[in-house]
Amino acid sequence: MALSKPAATSADVGLVGLAVMGQNLVLNMADHGFKVAVYNRTTATTERFVADNPPAVFGDTGGGLVPAADLRDFVASLKRPRRIVILVKAGGPTDAVIDSLVPLLDKGDVVVDGGNALFTDTMRREKALGEKGLLFVGSGVSGGEEGARFGPSLMPGGRREAWALLEPIWVACAAKVDAKTGKPIEGARPGKPVQGGVPCTTYIGPGGAGHYVKMVHNGIEYADMQLICESYDILRHAKGLSPEAISKVMREWNQGDLDSFLIEISADVLQQRDPVTGAPFVDVVLDAAGQKGTGKWTSVNALDLGVPTGSIAEAVFARCISALKDERVRASAVLKGPTAPSPLEISVDAVRDALYCSKLCAYAQGFALYTAASKEYGWNLDLGAIAQIFRGGCIIRARFLQKITEAYQRQPALENLLLDPYFAAQVEKAQANWRSVVAKAALDGVPAPAFSSALSYFDSYRRKTLPANLLQAQRDYFGAHTYERVDRPRGEFFHVDWPDSKRPELKASELGMSR
């Protein structure tokens, strides 16, 4: 079908980029009564999308599609102030779309980048558009294709006046959770969106805050997925369970504290049979994982801010080493591990406890990173509100997040989730099982980098004294980097005039100590 020129100012909002996520978000907005202008660089894509979604799809919602073959016609079809959502590949393609739009816009119009942008790019774009009198929102959109269609978690950042223009659309389209329980409200379908409930969106903060929160969300997601995979690996190779049996275990876990989208889909995957061979589907999937960079961005930023997020980093590195498939196959013929299982016995419940405690540490790391970034960039992030909008729509949605929300409601300035009384008690109760699982994995040669890193994080965080005293003494010895003393106030630095290596007989009492 050929696209006719749309009527001027006939659309409430516009979207550029009709890949799967873009198409689903358009349908979501139209389901909620918005007339959505749509544009794609390839006009045939727009034509097919409009043909597949005639007005009848949206019933009596009042919503619908306003297609345009030309970018100028697309902009002209929007009511003022214009609201334009961009959902194209991050980086150069996003910049290209923005550059094409800017000459066609008027002061006060708002451009929304809904892609997985690096938050520093968002800060740059907001500054550049602000100088032209335009508003810019960098918004995380989490939930995958299904979330975009029926209710994602939305994380908008930018100026408050920009959020005011976007808010009615984002609140309508976001996933909804029950006000009392925090559980996602299910049942949305084409033309019949969910009614009522608490929307999984809120104003995050200025500048790149929205995309930053999405970035760290993805870093937590990396850790969560890796921890589930390690649970599967331990159950299969240390407990000898089949994929189908592990699926049943995970379905049981999904009835309790580990209830989550990722556990649910893992159980689905593990019960699936390959339609070609009839073997367990997971056994025909090559063990080489891909990634798009957000986990790496999280880890790099954590290093920049000096925040320990080892579980997230180990999840990234696990994907990196998985990609060395051919090299690992060659190494397996040379390097040998344990020749027999260890006598240490672990239960399925122990693996569940290890997953729960490790998951808590991964979230604690992510939220500690939010705290540091909020101070560094002046964002004043509300961690309780962030936890609330993760309860539905997003990939890491889980029952667990209601407890995190409650933790920050009790203590908005909570230093670390591990210090919340509820979570501290949970770890105290479960840590013996956690330790036994990590030990069993090590003794049996089952790699568990995220489990091990999470346990080390917990043990490091709970220790009053760490071996960093020796490390700092080493630094003072070889580089005169100075050190602080346990018997002096923090902030006072000292240096020892260390002996020449050729004079080992020099006594400690003869050393000169200077401040």
**Annotated catalytic residue within 35, 126, 176, 214:** 214
Rounded to whole angstroms, the Cα distance separating 164 from 167 reads: 5
Query: What residue spans of 378-467 are helical by DSSP H?
Result: 383-389, 400-410, 421-444, 449-462
**Count of other CB atoms within 10 angstroms of residue 190:** 15
* Residue 234 C-beta-side C-alpha neighbours within 13 Å: 35
User: Degrees (nearest 5) of the Cα angle 454, 228, 315?
Assistant: 50
Rounded to whole angstroms, the Cα distance separating 360 from 351 reads: 14
What does the CA dihedral 281, 286, 290, 296 come to, rounded to 10 degrees?
100
Query: What residue spans of 174-309 are helical by DSSP H?
Result: 209-237, 243-253, 261-271, 281-284, 294-305
- Helices 310-322, 209-237: axis angle to 10 degrees equals 60
Rounded to whole angstroms, the Cα distance separating 405 from 515 reads: 46
Contact 194, 208 (CB under 8 A): no
- 3-class DSSP string for 289-349: CCCCCHHHHHHHHHHHHCCCCHHHHHHHHHHHHHCCHHHHHHHHCCCCCCCCCCCCCCCHH
**Annotated catalytic residue within 35, 126, 176, 221:** 221
Is 221 tagged catalytic? yes
Q: Which residues are catalytic?
A: 214, 221
